[in-house]
A = this chain, B = another copy of it.
Amino acid sequence: MLAEFDLIRRYFMSSQEASTASNGVTLGCGDDATLLIPPAGQQLAVSVDTSVVDVHFPREAPAFAVGHRALAVALSDLAAMGAASRWCLMALTLDQRQFADDEATHAWLADYARGFHTLSQQHATTLVGGDVTSGALSIGVTVMGEVPVGEAFTRSGAQVGDLIAVTGALGGGAGGLALWQQGERDLAHPLLSRYLLPQPRLAAGLALRGLATAALDISDGLLSDLAHLREASLVGAVIALDALPLADELESTLGREAALRAALSGGDDYELLVTLSANDLATAQQRLASLGLTLTVVGHCCEALGVSASDQSDLSGYAGWQHFSGDAP
């Protein structure tokens, strides 16, 4: 058993050592701690996210997706700050008894590491520390990024009159989960891909610097996350239901009502929810278009606290998101 754990340690260490020289790392994994050169004149943005089997992802999810997803959801928090990602630490807890034999363990670990590394390399994020322990499958990822002093997005900067906009499309996380539960296993399916291989919007976060007045990432559903922003900014919100950008194939798969529900109160989308002045909208949309991403206005901030639909629809029936839960009581 320990041999496998040593193996993944080496696997993770060797792949990160190649990139350390270029990313402010003076002493990589393998000592008691890693030494980093912090960015001059910038603030460090740090966050931690834990992904637990049967809670955040299904036990049978492909190992590649498990590795990708654990890092993606953590990076999404940096995106929501407008921070550039630099470093991460990964604490993997693994129950080797879930595998038939050492070969199965090895295959799982290699696939998991490939998912994690592929994404970390896409976002120039160096793995600078890790821990591998034995126990129920769970991955804790700490991410560290940088942002110029005073330029980070918070949740509290939205002003009355600001537009409310979202990157990309909504409802794909919930739609993908529904498909997974119906037995769909093809990761190339656009909805399943949205659920199991979410893309952290780091480039969008950088592009929106100086434009967004507040931001967060949509992990628990638009309405739930918007509530955090409303409360922090002391504003109300009006949402235009017919403006919601629905994920590809969502409506055709689930039908209109369930698709709307997925977009409003589904979770695991990991798109950015931002507020911005109407004057900055065109600039923001141009910048995101150059990244191949849309920015869709879905409402605006108003003085009256609370949230309502512009067409007077009743929003009270859209409950919050509970993630995947395979064996919840």
Interface residues of A (CB under 8 A from B): 26-27, 30-40, 42-50, 52-56, 76-78, 80-81, 83, 87, 89-91, 93, 97, 128-131, 133-136, 138, 140, 142-145, 147, 152, 154-155, 215-217, 232, 329
Contacts and interface: CB of A to CB of B under 8 A. Distances in A.
A216 B44 CA distance: 27
A128 B46 contact: yes
Contacts of A217: 32
A149 to B, nearest CB: 8
A36 B42 CA distance: 9
Nearest to A96: B329
B138 A93 contact: yes
Contacts of A45: 33-36
Contacts of A144: 46
B36 A44 contact: yes
A133 B53 CA distance: 11
Contacts of A128: 46
B44 A35 contact: yes
A37 B44 CA distance: 6
Contact of A50 (B38, B78, B133, B154): B133
